[in-house]
Structure 1
């Protein structure tokens, strides 16, 4: 029956979605501050027509990817020795001003631009608690960054790095491997925990992700073979019926 094919096709569609999510995780296994994502599957029940099911009948269960959730666990902190590398311990995100607007990030690789602004490797300025770019005076060659984000130089405090906490972290939309767009209100972290000279690595577990990818490939091949064999069975049935009616 065609319903079996439709159910199998729903499984293929969700497997393709799962594969793209796993592939993105693997591609960002070395991206600083990256948080892995995972697909949440669910059954979609399609009841047959009529108030009561026929004797022995059951609801048809289609597969659907209900949602994609982000693993917010802390990545390993790695020491770099670069005084402008900053890791966030616990909750919070850096805010950066990009060409497409304010974006959040856990990637703490920063450098000083020629105009004195602290920015990421693409030149996007790091913002302070007031939402303004942080500019370091030219005379300050040695910077100290306290755990609360306070940046100090030779002449005292320069700025305080803004670290925000979204109201709902699962409403953050990824843009590439490093940035997140906040479609939810954010507030300044009252007591951020920043570590100078370190970065947070991706929290992707590479070997489990590779194993998961192989499992998805096997499942996809199995279901695809079922769809192909079901199509062959239906074609054979049609051919036999036509032969009988000739």
Structure 2
């Protein structure tokens, strides 16, 4: 296998990863609070020494999948009218308590359990400003939330929804479709804007991601054809040499 094939295979590897990322984005185009993933590619250059030279030689550029990051651009808001649906306008994340620890999310599609605890779609309790579970008294049946997260019922204010962030959102690690694991200390958002009866949609542009997938697939097919052509060329050369040993002299 020569260097041309190695270079093409490095491209195939990164395209395979790009296809997986794009497919996951498309699969979650309708997931509330989902943030699209993006890839960073780079080239690493290998300098090849030419025969009978001390230094110099030609350079070969290989494709490298450097990193995958999330696009934290805010998605569009849509009205649902549900009392326990909340959307964040601006920065910040809701905090929920999971079996693996506290996680962050932009998906504010919550509901009220039989014991009054406010939970997300997976049953994880939503936390208040003191990192305590948000619990609505069973006798309270009217729920309103102000823009700063203060929760009130017909019997008065009962708590405040916690809204936190981290210094660098690129350090958040996705877990599943809408949870994010913080690797650094979280802190409370000072300027809060929570909208009740609304949800933040996924920020995935389905048309753009579909176009991207077609481009990746086309690039993949062309690169794979190059590998096949190069393999055929090498095999043909080997067959000729094997059939006529004198041609190698």
Same fold (TM over 0.5): yes
Once the two structures are superposed, the pairs formed by residues 104-123 of structure 1 within 5 Å of their partners are 104-123=104-123
Can you list the C-alpha shifts for 1:93-130, whole angstroms capped at 9, x where unaligned?
10101122211100000111001000112211000111
Partner of 1:228: 228
CA separation in 2, counterparts of 1:195 and 1:164? 16
2:94 corresponding residue in structure 1:
94
Quick one: distance in 1 between partners of 2:35 and 2:102? 19
Residue 163 of structure 1 corresponds to which residue in structure 2?
163
Task: Report what 1:239 is aligned to.
Answer: 239
Question: Deviation digits for residues 154-212 of structure 1, max 9, x if unmatched?
Answer: 22211111111112111111111111111122111012110000000001000010010
Given candidates 31, 52, 55, the residue that maps to 1:52 is 55
1:152 aligned residue:
152
Query: 2:182 maps to what in 1?
Result: 182
| Aligned residue in 2 for 1:25 | 25
Residue of structure 1 equivalent to 2:215: 215
User: Gapped runs of 5+ residues in structure 2?
Assistant: none
Q: Which residue of 1 aligns with 2:128?
A: 128
* Structure 2 counterpart of 1:143: 143
1:36-63: CA deviations, max 9, x gaps? 1111111111122476323xx3x11000
Query: Distance between the aligned counterparts of 1:218 and 1:239, measured in 2?
Result: 31
State TM-score, norm by structure 2.
0.94
Number of paired residues?
A: 243
Alpha-carbon distance in structure 2 between the residues aligned to 1:27 and 1:202: 11
Q: Which moved more, 1:2-11 or 1:148-157?
A: 148-157
CA drift of 1:92 comes to 0.6
Normalising by structure 1, we get a TM-score of 0.95
Question: Runs of 5+ in structure 1 lacking a partner?
Answer: none
Provide runs of 4+ in structure 1 moved above 4 Å.
none
**Aligned CA-pair RMSD:** 1.3
